[in-house]
Amino acid sequence: MPETEVTVHVNRESTDDLETAASAVEVDGSFALRLAGHDAPAHVHCRLAGDLERIAALEEGNYYVEPNAVTTVPVGVDADSIDGPVEGTLEVLTGYGAESISIAVTVVPGPPAVDVDDSLAAPADTEPEPTGIERTLDRIVGDGLEPATLAVAALGLVAIGVGGATAATIGGPVTAAGLVIVLVGVAVALVLLVR
């Protein structure tokens, strides 16, 4: 759908009457002529004049405009083939040419084409942000553990072993709860040391 639209009112005040608010328009591509019908139907003829004929075209020249309806007339413009402004007129006639209006049209060259490199179609090589566990594992594997961290880990394993042996020997819910407390304590100590 063209961005620019020019509206011509047909039969608004009287039969075979044409009105427009735009006496001139500047475009850089195709645009649309909107024929707004009012009280009575009309046959409307449209044509291009001047240098505009070289670069613009209408699908057809004659249009039937219904009362209280809008007929859209696409005006195809090839602005890519011009280097400078091209001027001409869009003429709208009704009543077998008894009534007519002319709209000055200036076509300016459109913005230059942008060359798109194929690399823009490839997704960017972005890696997701590592999670806390991944950062911890990278730190352990990449940097190695400090001797103090290894000593705490070894002491934690000994505490878990003693707690597990005690829970297995004595049994009961109190020793099981004690083993869980030792496990949680060792896990928290390791997480705090590795961070």
- Please state which of the ranges 35-39, 55-59, 163-167 shows the lowest mean pLDDT: 163-167
Q: Residue 137: pLDDT band by 50, 70, 90 thresholds?
A: low
pLDDT tens digits, residue range 21-52? 888 999 988 999 999 999 889 999 999 999 99
Structural domain boundaries in the chain: 4-110, 132-194
Quick check: pTM over 0.75?
A: no
pLDDT value at residue 31: 92
- Percentage of residues of the chain with pLDDT beyond 90: 32
3-state SS record for 156-186: HHHHHHHHHHHHHHHCCHHHHHHHHHHHHHH
Mean pLDDT of 54-75: 92
Pick the CATH number of 4-110 from 2.60.40.10, 3.40.50.1370, 3.30.70.890, 3.30.930.10: 2.60.40.10
CA atoms of 187 and 158, how far apart (whole Å) = 13
Q: Residue 125: pLDDT band by 50, 70, 90 thresholds?
A: low
pLDDT tens digits, residue range 169-187? 888 888 888 888 888 888 8
- Please state which of the ranges 104-113, 119-128, 166-175 shows the lowest mean pLDDT: 119-128
Mean pLDDT of 98-103: 90
Do residues 67 and 102 touch, judged by C-beta distance below 8 A?
no
pLDDT value at residue 139: 62
Q: Is the pLDDT assigned to residue 119 strictly greater than 60?
A: yes
pLDDT value at residue 92: 93
Q: Token digits for 160?
A: 């878990």
CA atoms of 187 and 1, how far apart (whole Å) = 65
